[in-house]
């Protein structure tokens, strides 16, 4: 049953300290939505959102945390743990619980191309949601621009003016995670997006060399991209304590980039938001602090 006119629905945002989840909480707050921010790290979420957002502890692996989050929620934004090749085994029991508890709309953060890969955990989650009978919306973003501004890539650019990935010269239509959050906010605010799947990309496909050039131009110093091998990628991830199966998922993603599967530009984002997606140049201008050494 759709809610009566004027009734504010209650939205649970999972992964609330993640790249998209944290932005989504801010956007829903600006819209005056009733939200709970679900996270394994409530202190971190409270520090970010302040007192205006209700934060609730939520861990897919800890069933005792589920009720406080889902028994309240009409709509759920679902963030699967990243790079986990078995994320469906962790997420499906949780989403089933949410549906049984009365949630009537699931917006899933999936990934570009999931529809063509039945063996992908994200596709299995999509299929499960389709089978529950609730309203659903799938967001299928390409790789986020934000990945260059966090983790080992950001550190490598900041400290050495270079980054290495096994992408060869392939192009990628990187998307701004803030745009993904904006689409999520729009789709969580009405029933108009039920049964829809959106492929979310940036406005252009760029090579990693072009990415390095744009970051370097914003910083006013030389930044270089070095094409590497998958073995070199695994070696980079080891000191970062990436579990082996997640490193393999990362390597698989790079293979899909080299195969050209990540270069398509989609109009879905502009269709939902009524504006063009953010350019890499714009993103870099806003994110430049991520690559600036402290004290310089
Ligand atoms: N990164 C990309 O470029 C990209 C592109 C396309 C699609 N995606 C997809 O988007 C999804 C999320 O990736 P992301 O890069 O956005 O990750 P992210 O920024 O690291 O956010 C993921 C969030 O998942 C939550 N999480 C992890 N394990 C959890 C658990 N056991 N219980 C509850 N929450 C848990 C964490 O939230 P808390 O720490 O707040 O608990 C974490 O912040 C993945 O499925 C990925 O395939 C990512």
Residue 179 burial by Cβ neighbours in a 10 Å radius (0-12, 13-18, 19+)? buried
- How many A from CA of 242 to the centre of ligand 1? 14
pLDDT at 268: 98
Question: What is the tens place of the pLDDT at every residue in 46-59?
Answer: 999 998 899 999 99
State mean pLDDT over 192-207.
98
Q: Is the beta carbon of 15 within 6 A of some atom in ligand 1?
A: yes
Q: Which of 15, 57, 58, 87 to mutate to test the pocket of ligand 1 (most atoms within 8 A of CB)?
A: 15
Q: Is the beta carbon of 144 within 6 A of some atom in ligand 1?
A: yes
Q: How confident is the model at residue 294 (pLDDT cuts 50, 70, 90)?
A: confident
Given a cut of 70, whether residue 5 has pLDDT beyond it is no
- How many A from CA of 7 to the centre of ligand 1? 30
State mean pLDDT over 213-231.
97
- How many A from CA of 81 to the centre of ligand 1? 4
Question: What is the tens place of the pLDDT at every residue in 84-122?
Answer: 999 999 999 999 999 999 999 999 999 999 999 999 999
Kindly report the protein residue whose alpha carbon is nearest to atom 8 of ligand 1. 111
- Token digits for 198? 């959106």
Kindly report the protein residue whose alpha carbon is nearest to atom 17 of ligand 1. 82
**Which of the four CATH numbers 1.10.3720.10, 3.40.50.1820, 3.40.50.720, 3.30.70.360 does domain 10-141+177-199+265-274 have?**
3.40.50.720
State mean pLDDT over 266-291.
98
State mean pLDDT over 157-186.
98
Given a cut of 70, whether residue 255 has pLDDT beyond it is yes
- How many A from CA of 82 to the centre of ligand 1? 4
């Amino acid at each position: 049953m759709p809610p009566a006119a004027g009734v504010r629905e209650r939205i649970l945002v999972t992964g609330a300290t993640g790249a998209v989840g944290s932005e989504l909480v801010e956007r829903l707050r600006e819209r005056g939505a009733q939200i709970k921010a679900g996270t394994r790290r409530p202190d971190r979420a409270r520090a970010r959102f302040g007192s205006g957002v209700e934060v609730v502890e939520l861990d897919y692996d800890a069933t005792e945390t589920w009720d406080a989050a889902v028994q309240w929620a009409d709509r759920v934004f679902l963030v699967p743990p990243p790079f986990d090749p078995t994320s469906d085994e962790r997420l499906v029991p949780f989403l089933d619980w949410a549906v049984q508890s009365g949630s009537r709309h699931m917006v899933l953060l999936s990934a570009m191309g999931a529809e063509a890969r039945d063996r992908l955990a994200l596709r299995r989650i999509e299929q499960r949601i389709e089978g529950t009978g609730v309203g659903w919306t799938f967001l299928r973003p390409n790789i986020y621009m934000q990945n260059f501004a966090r983790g080992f890539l950001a550190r490598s650019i900041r400290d050495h003016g270079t980054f290495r990935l096994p992408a060869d010269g392939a192009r990628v239509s990187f998307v701004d995670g803030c745009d993904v959050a904006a689409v999520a906010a729009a789709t969580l605010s009405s029933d108009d997006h039920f049964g829809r799947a959106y492929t979310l990309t940036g406005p252009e496909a760029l090579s990693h060399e072009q990415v390095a050039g744009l970051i370097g131009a914003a910083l006013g110093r030389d930044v270089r991209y070095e094409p590497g091998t998958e073995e070199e990628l695994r070696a980079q991830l080891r000191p970062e304590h990436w579990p082996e199966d997640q490193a393999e998922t990362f390597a698989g993603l790079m293979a899909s980039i080299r195969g050209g599967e990540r270069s398509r530009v989609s109009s879905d984002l502009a269709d939902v938001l009524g504006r063009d997606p953010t350019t890499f140049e714009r993103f870099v201008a806003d994110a430049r602090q991520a690559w600036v050494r402290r004290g310089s």
